[in-house]
Amino acid sequence: MLAATALDVPVKHAPALLLLLHTVAAPAWADSFAVDAKQIRTLAPGAAAIDNGRIVVQDGKITCIGGQLAGAAKSCPLPDGIRRYDYSASGIVTPGMFETLGRVGQVEVDAEDGSHDGIAAKDSNLAQVRAVDGIAMASRAMDASRLGGVTLVLARPLGGALVLGQSAAFRTVGLTVDAALVQAPVAVHVTLGEDARQDMPLMGARSGQLAVLRTLLQNAQRLADADRKKPKDPAEKDAIQRLREDAGIAALADLVWRKKLPVVVHAHRSDEIAAALRLQKELGFRLVIAGGAEAHLLAKELAAQEVPVLLGPVRVAPFGWNTRQARPEAAALLHAAGVRLGLATAETHNARNLRFEAGFAVAHGLPADVALAAITREPAAILGLPAGTGTLLEGHVADFAVFDGDPLSFDGHTRFVASAGTAIDAPQQR
């Protein structure tokens, strides 16, 4: 880890030093440690919370989850030579949280173009664009997110295209995104409605956008099928070759039809969500709805087609045509109908408030255990991340946070965070 002192840098460079100290010089990291807590919520399916528990981490991986002392159902002795963090009086341990709709690592200062990845030119299909290529780890938003207990984030390409490109999931610790990467690509992202409007044939109307998207997916399916069936007709071979030379179509064929990655459709309006459901029923791809301010109006249809929703921001209020039927109890309504649910802030600089979005959903009828799962385990499963992501399991990389009260309320403050198997000594959110 780089470090600097005032003696190392001339006085005239002091302003630059302040920035360096914030973005490069970090608190002491540790990859072997133990945490004692009043309660550990592993969120492993069927697992009960562990009272008076201990988590032991060695070389970045969890080696033991159990009781602190001999005599517990499973005890975790403290290994020699590692540091112990004691939060046994009030600490509640949960898996690290997963923000799926923000722009952490892509935007630093909204008004300063040079500080973020930028926006791809408007087009109908940019499926070949990879968000992983534009992520900056040295970010204040990254620091703030991690200190709030967010240890995993999803980034999608920024742009005004109908098909935005490929997302990446990465942890909030790492010198480069390659060191922090969990999975890339994760999904193909599509925007419907106002954000996709542009002065191109068909793209100025929602019906036109769906027509273009249908054609793109059909052509990609045709290419994927041809690679399996090897057409012999010369005219068909020439047509397939033209599709193969289209980078966007080739990416859709590979990701959507061969690898079966989800197509995440960003839409708030119920009519746009209904259109996406019709298209999914027609073509059979994996669909996830993101945003979803009016998704609760189609809860039965979403459940019937087994289409999950990444709802965010949860606290959205009716403020325009796209959200005029938003309701504060939307998350509870979706859950009650059987829709698989993830919650998000859809924020960059305030992604650290993800747990409060979940708390808002609890205040409006969503069960607390469902809300906690919806910001940890469930979005990871919805997006197809490696098994166990968003839970605490022995043998897995340590990603968790400790709160000194209810994690989903203002009473609980972040006292400790481990991400990517490393821990910052006593990081407190202020």
User: According to the per-residue pLDDT averaged within each range, which of 25-29, 105-109, 380-384 is highest?
Assistant: 380-384
Q: What is the pLDDT of residue 340?
A: 98
CATH 2.30.40.10 domain position(s) in the chain: 27-96+390-430
What is the arithmetic mean of pLDDT over 283-291?
98
The residues, ordered by sequence, that sit 6+ positions from 39 with a Cβ below 8 Å of its Cβ are 49, 50, 51, 52, 53, 91, 92, 93
Higher-pLDDT residue of 370 and 72 is: 370
Give the pLDDT band of residue 198 (cuts 50, 70, 90): low
| Euclidean distance between CA atoms 67 and 88, whole angstroms | 11
The larger pLDDT score, comparing residue 114 to residue 302, is at 302
Do 355 and 375 meet the contact criterion of CB atoms below 8 Å apart? yes
pLDDT for residue 134 is more than 80: yes
- On the question of pLDDT at 25 being above 80, the answer is no
- CATH number of this structure's domain 97-388: 3.20.20.140
Residue 128: strand, helix, or coil = coil
Residue 220 has pLDDT above 50, yes or no: yes
pTM exceeds 0.85 for this model:
yes
Strand runs labelled E in 184-306: 188-191, 263-267, 287-291
Query: Has residue 312 got a pLDDT over 50?
Result: yes
Q: Identify the CATH homologous superfamily for domain 27-96+390-430.
A: Urease, subunit C, domain 1 (2.30.40.10)
Which residues in the chain are classed under CATH 3.20.20.140?
97-388
How far is it, in rounded angstroms, from Cα 166 to Cα 210?
19
Lowest mean pLDDT among 54-63, 154-163, 192-201, 234-243: 192-201
Q: Does the pLDDT value for residue 126 go beyond 50?
A: yes
Structure confidence at residue 428 (pLDDT): 54
